[in-house]
Amino acid sequence: MAYEERIASALKLKVSQVAATIELLSEGNTIPFIARYRKERTGKLDEEQLRQVEALVKRFTNMDERRASIVASIESQGKMTDEIMKRLVEADTLTALEDIYQPYKRKRKTRASVARSRGLQELADRILAQQIIKGTAEDAAQEYLTDDVPDVEAALAGARDIVAEMATDHSDVRRITREKALKFGSLLAEKKSGAKDERGVYRTYYEFRQRIERIQPHQVLAINRGEKEKVLRVKMEVPDRDWRNAMEKYFSATPLSPFDDQLMLALEDGANRLLLPAIERDIRRGLTKTAEKHAINVFATNLRSLLTQPPLSGHTVMGIDPGYRTGCKIAIVDSTGKILDTGTIYPHFNEKKWNATLELLEKLVKKHLVDLISIGNGTASRETEKLAAELIQRVGGNLNYIITNEAGASVYSASPEARREMPNLDVSIRGAVSIARRVQDPLAELVKIEPKAIGVGMYQHDVNQTELGSALDAVVGSAVNQVGVDVNTASPALLTYVSGLGPKLAERIVAFRDEEGPFKSRKALKNVSGLGNKAFEQAAGFLRIRGGDNPLDMSAIHPESYPVAETILLKSNLNLQSSVEQRREVLENFKIENPVEVLAKELNVGVPTLDDIYEQLVRPGRDPREDLPAPILRNDILSMDDLMVGMRLKGTVRNVIDFGAFIDIGVKQDGLMHISKIPRGHRLQIGNILEVEIDSIDIDRGRISLSWVEAE
């Protein structure tokens, strides 16, 4: 079956959609570009579906490469048969391929290979055949005694080693045992004697037993970490009947044969020494891979939500990076992100320092007309939040504060990007600048940080780092292209993620902009060295030119569709200078009088593209983040002592994990809403704002349990 058919069947898509996607990818098109500007060819597949197709193409390609390698290996040994070839061709997973190849792998020195070198293969074959002879197995073994095989027991033991290896290498034995283990086996964990786990991180797994088919991804990763840290001992348990049935189906003893007990001994030894350990490695590797994939997906979903938080534009922001001994670093930026002032304050030493700090901050707020304070959520954030609340009481007006996730700020501060952007600022101050700018435009600021450092998931350090990095880069790229980028203000980091560009072209665009001044049109991008027709095609629709020569350049309409857009405006008696209000009113009536299907045919353009053009003519360059609720701004502070069971509060989702969500309700400790409290069908995302009710408070352990409040 061709890739197109196999992928279409697996993803429940049309073969034509998959074929078009594979062709577009092979032509060098990016997934954001295909999803946005090639809807007609793919049947409107979205980015997730396109990535699934891409992943399956890669998987099937890897499988075919491995299949070819295995075929070549077996043929070089002169052992290929029509039956083996048929099974290799029909194998549909890498595991199935490896099971078939197992008997033909070139192994390092084993007990069986040593026995073969001593001439015991024939005796092993007699045991496998359950030969019926006169006399005993010991009598038969006498024929194989040599200097290397001094006695009967050594001969039989060596022959059993060969039988054990042959039986456990049998592909169907491995397959059936694996299937039974996955269905009926259990994973066990226990605390190692004398192991140190002072904080009780792994207490849940000190006496843990769970059926393999029921174990959860976060449990797998926690157990793996506990084992790696030498706190836990882990093993898998498979019911004896399962592996016995699998082995005896293909290697059954004949009571009339004197070799029957030798076969059973060999199978028992092979199962315990070779088969079950191999199956345990296979299954645990599979469980880990599945758990890692799940964890990466959770991280990616959370990262997308964080990146697409609505910007708090138009604010002059004071960013505070809290600290005790080294003080709190502050940075004030205007509404464009320009740095106005910086400094260090030391409020957390004594009352005198506290009061002096309040006076200083009050002067800075009034001097720069600060109307928002952004406080990093790290060390001393709670005390700094109290400082902000008192400052707001002194200043009055419309001053508010917000707690900002500072994850990755220190990584960014020491990065080449930060040094390039703020060469004259101390590393510690750069973090405060980042905390201030994050609320103004989370996406533009967070793209400067390695995605893995942002930390909105669980076990991100335990999963495959290459796969994690690839998945997170895809999420960042998707978010950047979904929002669009102002080419005249964007940093190299932001431009890097634009479809078709990358680090080198991003640097060249900024360098060209610095030398020649702002771009006046999208066409002018072609003057950038190295930015050829293909890169322009992929990138142009995602780049915005505000106040340029052509008003369409600030929209998401691709330059290739400008003639269609201009024709629509002309037919509706509008032009590029018509106001958005005019366009909205006129085009709504125009669409009624000119059905999209009819006009699309007339203009020789697809209906999806025409719909997108209409949308952009009415709302040019619309930022999709504007449709989300704005973050909660605060002007007073709550403490754990202020909370009561039954109290209802507004909260912001800070992290979503397997067993629930952590929600910021305005106190230092985020509350946990367990998954059992989230109504079925609701999927929380980072940044969601919802009303919650306090179920329980554990002040000593700093834990708050929350429940869902239905909107009235």
Per-run averaged pLDDT (10 residues), the chain, 712 residues: 88 95 96 96 95 94 95 94 94 92 89 95 96 93 94 96 95 94 95 89 93 93 94 94 92 94 96 95 95 90 87 92 91 93 90 90 94 88 87 88 85 88 91 93 88 73 86 92 93 94 94 94 95 96 93 94 94 86 87 88 93 90 80 74 81 83 82 89 83 85 85 64
Phi and psi for 64 in degrees, rounded to 5?
-65, -35
pTM: 0.82
What residues pair up with 211 in beta bridges, in sequence order?
A: 186
> For residue 349, what pLDDT is reported?
80
C-alpha span between 354 and 358 (Å, rounded): 6
Distances in Å between the Cα of 422 and the Cα atoms of 117, 286, 322, 392, 601 are 70, 46, 20, 29, 53
* Cβ 379 vs Cβ 320: under 8 Å: no
Q: Which amino acid is at 515?
A: E
Give me the domains of the chain, ranges plus CATH numbers. 3-104 (1.10.10.650), 317-481 (3.30.420.140), 640-708 (2.40.50.140)
Counting other chains too, the contacts that 657-666 makes at CB distance below 8 Å and 24 or more residues apart are 657/218, 657/298, 657/457, 657/458, 658/216, 658/217, 658/218, 658/294, 658/298, 658/458, 659/218, 663/690, 663/692, 663/706, 664/403, 665/638, 665/692, 665/694, 665/704, 665/706, 666/634, 666/637, 666/638
CB under 8 Å to 549, separation ≥6 — which residues?
520, 521
Nearest by Cα to 247 from 314, 311, 177, 300: 177
> For residue 457, what pLDDT is reported?
64
C-alpha span between 687 and 665 (Å, rounded): 12
> For residue 385, what pLDDT is reported?
86
Nearest by Cα to 437 from 364, 335, 367, 362: 335
The token duo for 519 is 């771009």
Q: DSSP secondary-structure letter at 37?
A: H
pLDDT in tens, 148-194: 999 999 999 999 999 999 999 999 999 999 999 999 999 999 999 99
> For residue 415, what pLDDT is reported?
87
> For residue 712, what pLDDT is reported?
60
Return the residue matching tokens 């599979």.
Answer: 286
